[in-house]
């Protein structure tokens, strides 16, 4: 089928006029229509604004779906009717079959089979141990279980460890308390509350140490002044 030309600006104006008059005009799909057979008809339903891209709303014949197409994918040229396929030629007559002569069946006298010779008794075989079942392997492509462990050590210090299945993927590695606090906020409120409690205790401990060092520094400064420095 020859490729149909798309809708011109005059064609679009004509279709608009027919819609305004209460008529749903027919259009046909061109070879440029994506997903549609060229020559299939459709009813124009509406136009969307602005007139850019696929702004013509149509319903293909035999379908309840409303689809959008561009002017290049539609045409007002009705395709010619399709020609019916020619009937296949009649099959040639089968050649006459040859006549078969059937002879009467005469059964042969049955032959008595010879008695089987007794087999020598076989020595009892030693019982073989049952083969050990192979260890069950994880399914191919299955993702191993990953365990991430955060541990608070020392005064406000943290480490993280990662196990992939039973294999240690990441050894205990120091992480900053700020990173731990930020990660805990992204998890459940219970985890964030527990981590915040540990961090508050570490802050209080460090604050007490700062106060102690400040007092020791003031005492040392006073002793230095008493020595006339």
At residue 2, the pLDDT reads 46
The band of 13, judged by pLDDT with boundaries at 50, 70 and 90, is very high
Encoded tokens for 113? 């089979």
Any domain includes 132:
no
36 contacts 75 by C-beta, under 8 angstroms = no
Residue 68 has pLDDT above 70, yes or no: yes
Which of 75, 92, 126 terminates a domain? The answer is 75
Is pLDDT of 57 > 90? yes
Residue 131 covered by a domain: no
Range name among 15-19, 124-128, 216-220 with the lowest pLDDT average: 124-128
Contacts of 195 (CB under 8 A, 6+ apart): 150, 180, 181, 184
Q: What is the pLDDT of residues 171-186, one digit of tens each?
A: 899 989 899 898 988 9
- Please report whether residue 171 resides in a domain: yes
- CB-CB contact of 195 with 181 (8 Å): yes
Residue 56 has pLDDT above 90, yes or no: yes
- Amino acid 227: pLDDT: 92
* pLDDT-derived band at 50, boundaries 50, 70, 90: confident
The model's pTM: 0.35
Dihedral-angle region of residue 39 (phi above 0 means left; psi in -120 to 50 means alpha; beta otherwise)? left
Residue 193 lies in a domain: yes
Average pLDDT, the chain: 80
Is residue 100, in this structure, part of any structural domain at all?
A: no
Q: Are the beta carbons of 44 and 59 closer than 8 angstroms?
A: no
Domain boundary among 54, 75, 96: 75
- Residue 137 pLDDT > 50: yes
User: Where in the sequence is the domain holding 214, given as residue range(s)?
Assistant: 147-218
Bridge partners, 174 (sequence order):
159
As a whole number of angstroms, the distance between CA 50 and CA 180 comes to: 53
Instruction: Provide the number of structural domains found in the chain.
Output: 2
pLDDT tier at 124, thresholds 50, 70, 90: very low
* Among candidate residues 39, 37, 75, 40, the one with its CA nearest the CA of residue 56: 75
Within a domain: 157: yes
* Last-in-domain residue among 58, 75, 92: 75
The reported pLDDT for the residue numbered 98 is 52
Asked if residue 202 is part of any domain, the answer here is yes
Q: Are 158 and 176 in contact (CB under 8 A)?
A: yes
Question: What whole-number distance in Å separates Cα of residue 28 and Cα of residue 37?
Answer: 10
Is the pLDDT reported for residue 29 higher than 90? Answer: yes
pLDDT value of residue 148: 83
Please report whether residue 154 resides in a domain. yes
Q: Residue 54: which CATH number?
A: 2.30.30
pLDDT band for position 49 (cuts 50, 70, 90): confident
């Amino acid at each position: 089928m020859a490729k149909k030309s798309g809708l011109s600006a005059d064609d679009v104006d004509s279709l608009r006029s027919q819609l305004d008059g209460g008529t749903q005009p027919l259009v046909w799909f061109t070879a440029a229509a994506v997903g549609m057979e060229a020559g299939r008809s459709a009813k124009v339903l509406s136009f969307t604004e602005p007139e850019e891209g696929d702004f013509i709303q149509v319903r293909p014949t035999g379908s309840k779906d409303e689809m959008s197409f561009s002017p290049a994918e539609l045409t007002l040229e009705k395709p010619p009717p399709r020609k019916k396929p020619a009937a296949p030629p009649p099959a040639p007559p089968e050649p006459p079959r040859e006549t078969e002569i059937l002879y009467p069946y005469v059964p042969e006298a049955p032959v008595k089979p010879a008695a089987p010779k007794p087999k020598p008794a076989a020595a009892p075989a030693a019982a073989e141990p049952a083969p050990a079942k192979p260890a069950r392997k994880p399914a191919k492509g299955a993702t191993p279980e990953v365990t991430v462990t955060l541990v608070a050590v020392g005064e406000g210090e943290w480490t993280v460890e990662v196990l992939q299945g039973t294999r240690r993927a990441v050894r205990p590695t120091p992480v900053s308390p700020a990173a731990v606090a930020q990660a805990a906020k992204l998890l459940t409120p219970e985890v964030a509350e527990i981590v915040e409690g540990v961090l508050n205790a570490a802050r209080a401990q460090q604050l007490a140490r700062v106060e102690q060092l400040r007092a020791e520094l003031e005492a040392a400064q006073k002793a230095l002044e008493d020595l006339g420095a």
